[in-house]
Amino acid sequence: MQFEHTEEQLMIRSAARELLESYDSARLRAAIGAPGGYEAALWQQMGGELGWCGLALPERYGGAGLGWIELCLLQEELGRRLVASPFFASAVLGAALVMECATEAQRQELLSPLARGQMRFGCAITGPGGHPAPQGVDAEITSAGASLRLSGVADFVIHGDTADVLLVLAREGGGLSLVSIPAGTSGVHVIPHVMMDLTRPMSRIEFQDVTLGADARLGAPGAAALPLERALDLARIALAAEAVGAAERVLEMTGDYLKQRVQFGRPLGSFQALKHRMADLMTEVEAAKSAAWYAACAAQERPEECAEAAAIAKSYCCDAFYSCAAGSVQLHGGIGFTWEHDAHLYFKRARASATLLGSPVWQRERLLRVLGLGAAATPAF
């Protein structure tokens, strides 16, 4: 038992932190304004020389063969800087969906380009009602001779507008299937939203009688429900790691401000009311780290604990991030309410991360189900 990152893991973290040191507010804002809402050069670097996109992929797909613990360290560092990037949609959620649902040949085909940084996934797994997948899936597959026909609507698709391939969850027969669709396929309409969280663009996607080959289906017909759960848990765990990094960073920013801002003739940080609020936030952040790190270990070593660990990490870390980001707005005073200051970017990301893949309330209800405590009315989101 060694519940601490190894030297090699810490090196991955410090290399990532160093690289992202220059990803400051100006760069983040430039990325937000860029086409697709991210910085193309950084994305190329991640997929190319840095090899981040393939970090957790098996070597047979051109990956580095490391695991979810390492991937989550990157997620923490990306979270610290609120990096706007297709990384989560592609190398986390998309990769997990393909790994869990697809056949070996399909994995080769989809993951090898990802490992080289030449694949952006858009994961269309959420229905227009916004319920956590697979609830409320609207898209439906029907067979039309040797081919498939896809109709319906998916929404809240992260980086859906710039994806190379869409991974679409759809009802088929009595079950669920996942299909992969190249961008630009006829009948696919991508409608980008203006999102509250400026750092994670999302789109609504409409499918109008899209005709697909049978090989578009990843895995067996109607069999995606079970592997989907595991893929979602892996993504939740990585999202929790991202939240922890962001929470820690926004708390640091707030602490720095309180040390430097003087009112009533003394630094604000010397007032006990503010110190105590900061101490409570740090207590949450430290517990959140424990949650995220344990969940990353569970993802790697203990599949049987994955659902529980994911529900714990996703709910606790997103709550902690929200507390820190909300605290940051408050403790910065007027400047914290401006567009110019970064506090709102963290606050909005915190809200968006909490909602994504099942809110903290939803995760806690799910946790009780996992623990065998029955089910009350399932929370909507």
Partner 1 sequence: MQLGFTPAEERFRSEAAGWLEAQLSGPFRDLRGESTFSAHLERRLEWERALGAARYGCIGWPAAYGGRDATLAEQVIFAEEYARAGAPWRIGHMGVELAGPTILAFGTDAQKARFLPPIARGEEFWCQGYSEPNAGSDLANVRTRAVLSGQGAQRRWVIDGQKIWTSLAQFADWCFMLVRTEEGSRGHKGLSYLLVPMRQPGVTVRPIRQMTGEAEFNETYFTGAVTDADHVVGAPGDGWRIAMGTLAFERGVSTLGQQMGFRNELDAIIAAARANGMVGDPLIRQRLAHAHIGLKLMRYSALRMLSSAQAGRLSNEAYTYKIFWASWRKKLGELAVDVLGPAAEVAAPTYEWELLPRLFLGSRADTIYGGTNQIQRNIIAERALGLPKEPRGS
In the bound state with partner 1, the residue whose beta carbon lies nearer, of 238 and 312, is 312
Residue 240 and residue 257: Cα distance in Å, rounded? Answer: 26
The SS3 call for residue 113 is helix
Output the smallest distance, CB 96 to partner 1, in A.
19
In the bound state with partner 1, the residue whose beta carbon lies nearer, of 72 and 329, is 72
Output the smallest distance, CB 46 to partner 1, in A.
23
In the bound state with partner 1, the residue whose beta carbon lies nearer, of 34 and 380, is 380
CB 180 within 8 A of CB 173: no
CB 28 within 8 A of CB 345: yes
In the bound state with partner 1, the residue whose beta carbon lies nearer, of 189 and 302, is 302
In the bound state with partner 1, the residue whose beta carbon lies nearer, of 300 and 323, is 300
Residue 262 and residue 70: Cα distance in Å, rounded? Answer: 41
In the bound state with partner 1, the residue whose beta carbon lies nearer, of 65 and 173, is 65
State residue 209 phi and psi, 5-degree precision: 45, 55
Strands 262-263 and 188-192: unpaired
Output the smallest distance, CB 237 to partner 1, in A.
13
In the bound state with partner 1, the residue whose beta carbon lies nearer, of 125 and 251, is 251
Output the smallest distance, CB 379 to partner 1, in A.
8
Output the smallest distance, CB 304 to partner 1, in A.
12
Output the smallest distance, CB 232 to partner 1, in A.
18
Task: Give exposure, 99-120, as e/b (b: 16+ Cβ within 10 Å).
Answer: bbbbeeebbebbbbbbbbbebb
Which is it for the CA torsion 282, 4, 19, 75, positive or negative?
Answer: negative
**Is the bond leading into 379 cis (omega within 30 degrees of zero)?**
no
| Single-letter code of the amino acid located at 56 | A
Task: Give exposure, 325-341, as e/b (b: 16+ Cβ within 10 Å).
Answer: bbbbbebbeeebeeeeb
Maximum distance among all Cα pairs of the chain, rounded to whole angstroms = 79
For residue 220, the tally of other CB atoms under 10 A from its CB is 11
Output the smallest distance, CB 305 to partner 1, in A.
9
CB 138 within 8 A of CB 128: yes
Please name the residue that has the structure tokens 């005073």: 333
Strands 121-124 and 165-172: parallel
In the bound state with partner 1, the residue whose beta carbon lies nearer, of 197 and 242, is 242
Residues that bind partner 1 (CB under 8 A): 1-6, 9, 69, 255, 258-259, 266-267, 269-270, 272, 274-276, 278-280, 282-283, 286-287, 289-291, 293-294, 296-298, 300-302, 312, 315-316, 361, 364-365, 367-368, 371, 373-374, 376-377, 379
Output the smallest distance, CB 261 to partner 1, in A.
12
CB 282 within 8 A of CB 336: no
